[in-house]
Amino acid sequence: MSSTRTAFYHGILAGAPFLLMAAPFGMLFGLVASEAGLDIYQTVAMSVIVVAGASQFSALQVLVDGSPFYIAVLTGLAVNMRMLMYSASLAPHLGKAAKWHRIIAAYFLIDQTYGVSILELDKKPDMSVSAKLGYFFGTATLIFPVWYGSTLVGYLVGNTIPPQFALDFAVPIMFIALVAPSLRSIPHLVAAFVSVIVALALAWMPYSLWLIIAALAAMIAGAETERRMAAQT
């Protein structure tokens, strides 16, 4: 069996545990979208095209609150700015892949695929580019169909789920599982700390603008901390 195929299967296994959280997360989005007035086609299309649970929830909530459309778009973009950092982090591993491979990988770049992949690729820098791509795509193989399907299920039957089986538990658990292993350096910790402090301090702002400001502040703080540490070495 080729190393690429082996890496692909390993990626599937590594990403599989996140199905336990992706499924209820997708169902919760389908339910929230239904309650917000989106039709079934808009709801599923949003999950297929945007493929970003956190920004989908944020943008949808902003719209439900009566905010202008452009504020919803800015909110979604702000929440998804972390993808720029994810891309930069993966560039040393996947940057030499064919252009069309990188385009496809960009679509499949989400918190789960990044969080699982970067830990493995950093541990095994000598893997071939094709094997690294295989591992990355493997992490997405199960998660994406489940995300699409669970969104549809949530839209159709989410409101029949008893309150004691609330789906919203999946959101904080998933992000704790993703973020905690990544807090491996002082810049990471500074960015996390700043994002929490700024978000709490500005929670009063209208149109959920605190999300945009907190995301920007966290990135600036983390980058500046890393720059200063590099300058001292």
Q: pLDDT of 117-156, one tens digit each?
A: 998 998 888 899 999 999 999 999 999 999 999 999 989 9
The distance from CA 111 to its chain's CA centroid, rounded to whole angstroms, is: 3
Stronger pLDDT, 210 or 48, i.e. the higher one = 48
Which band of pLDDT confidence, cut at 50, 70 and 90, is reported for residue 205?
A: confident
CB contact at 8 A, 36 and 64: yes
Secondary structure letter of residue 161 according to DSSP? S
Please answer whether residues 190 and 221 qualify as being in contact, where contact means their C-beta atoms are separated by less than 8 angstroms. Answer: yes
Q: What angle do CA 21, 24, 78 make, to 5 degrees?
A: 75
* Highest-scoring range by mean pLDDT, 44-53, 57-66, 101-110, 117-126: 101-110
Average pLDDT across the chain, whole number? 83
Specify the length of the chain in residues.
233
Q: At what angle do helices 170-179 and 53-64 cross, to 10 degrees?
A: 140
- How far apart are the C-alpha atoms of 233 and 228, rounded to whole Å? 9
* Residue 2 vs residue 30, higher pLDDT: 30
Q: Are 82 and 188 in contact (CB under 8 A)?
A: no
Residue found by looking up tokens 């336990």 in the block: 20
Q: Which residues of 56-91 are buried (b: 16+ CB within 10 A; e: fewer)?
A: bbbbbbbbeeebeeebbebbbebbbbbbeebbeebe
Mean pLDDT value across residues 192-200: 89
Residue 172 has pLDDT above 70, yes or no: no
Rounded to 5 degrees, what are φ and ψ at 68? -60, 155
Closest listed residue to residue 56, CA positions, set 77, 85, 82: 77
| CB distance 173 to 21 below 8 Å | yes
What's the pLDDT score for residue 175?
Answer: 57
What pLDDT does 216 receive? Answer: 82
Q: Does residue 160 register a pLDDT over 90?
A: no
Query: What predicted TM-score, i.e. pTM, was given to this entire model?
Result: 0.74
Highest mean pLDDT among 30-39, 52-61, 126-135, 224-233: 126-135
**52 vs 225, higher pLDDT:** 225
Closest of 18, 82, 64, 12 to residue 223, by C-alpha: 82
Q: Which of 40, 55, 43 is nearest to 171 (CA)?
A: 55
What's the pLDDT score for residue 145?
95
| Mean pLDDT score, 153-169 | 68
Query: Per-residue pLDDT for 50 more than 90?
Result: no
